[in-house]
Amino acid sequence: MLPIYEAIAYENYTLIGGSNRPLLFLVDSGSAYESYVVKIFSKKDREQYNPASKECYYYALAEEFSLQQPKAAIIEFKKDFLAFIPKDVSQRIYESGSFFHFATKYMEGYSIINHNLKESDLENYEVETVLLSIF
């Protein structure tokens, strides 16, 4: 089960990658303040293909196969916190229809985005193919 942490600050840092424009927040993990990359999926996306569940499944599978990955958590956004962050960010959270979002611990200097990757390279991309290539 993923821990649930409360967002305490927006780090005003734009991360490259992903169609949902991941955001960086400082969270209280109970023992320290840590930066987490939060994926805010739109309500439409959540209703159509439930990406947050897929993120959790991928995380669980990677953990099961002992693959290296950043620590994951569910980040809670309280309404009083949303009043003190930039309006465009709080609006994205409100419009998502949820105050709980999947996140991974921020690893500075690390990116899974290969800027040389062409769209044509992804034509045959399937999760099953990726998993089979691991073994």
Burial (Cβ within 10 Å: 0-12, 13-18, ≥19) of residue 96: buried
pLDDT at 135: 46
pLDDT at 121: 57
Burial (Cβ within 10 Å: 0-12, 13-18, ≥19) of residue 11: middle
* Strand ranges for the chain from DSSP E: 4-14, 23-28, 33-38, 72-76, 100-105
Task: Tell me which residues of the chain have a pLDDT lower than 50.
Answer: 134-135
Q: Give the phi and the psi of residue 113 in degrees, each rounded to 5.
A: -85, 125
Q: Are 65 and 58 in contact (CB under 8 A)?
A: no
Q: Is the pTM of this model over 0.85?
A: no
